[in-house]
Amino acid sequence: MAIDYGTRRIGVAVSDSGVLASPHSVVPNEGDVIERLARLASELGADTIVVGIPRRQFHDSREQTFRDFAESLRQKTCKEVVLWNEELSTADAADRLRASGRKRREAQRDIDMYAAAVILQSYLDEIRRRQP
């Protein structure tokens, strides 16, 4: 399971095969979102949760927010939570949605789960690349 964490919406992606990532859902970032995501991870049978984090040359307070979010999720789920570079994931997802002919309003609504799929696919590709 992968998460594209945003201040208003959280995109979720999954992979049943461990090879191909698929967009799953968008969760509003309100209330006890850690509890909702932990429940979703359990329902999906997720072994690992990949959280996209913007990589910057210099650390800033926003990066700490992602780290705190990931740590809260790890504590709640007792699952491995991996921070993964989300650089350009939203831009890549937007390009893919435009190329598929999606209308702008529809694409905006779904962009977060597609960005999560880009993050998860990047993670899965790297895991496969590292295997002998």
The answer to whether 29 touches 39, Cβ cutoff 8 Å, is: no
Q: What is the pLDDT of residue 11?
A: 96
Q: Which residues of 78-109 are buried (b: 16+ CB within 10 A; e: fewer)?
A: ebebbbbebeebbebbbebbeeeebeeeebee
Instruction: Kindly give the confidence (pLDDT) of every residue in the chain, 132 residues in length, as a single tens digit, with 9 standing for 90 and above.
Output: 999 999 999 999 999 888 999 999 999 999 999 999 999 999 999 999 999 988 765 566 778 888 999 999 999 999 999 999 887 666 777 777 777 777 777 767 788 998 999 999 999 999 999 887
Domains, the chain, in order of start with CATH, read: 2-124 (3.30.420.140)
Give the pLDDT confidence of 100-117 residue by residue, as tens digits.
777 777 767 788 998 999
Question: Can you give the pTM of this predicted structure?
Answer: 0.87
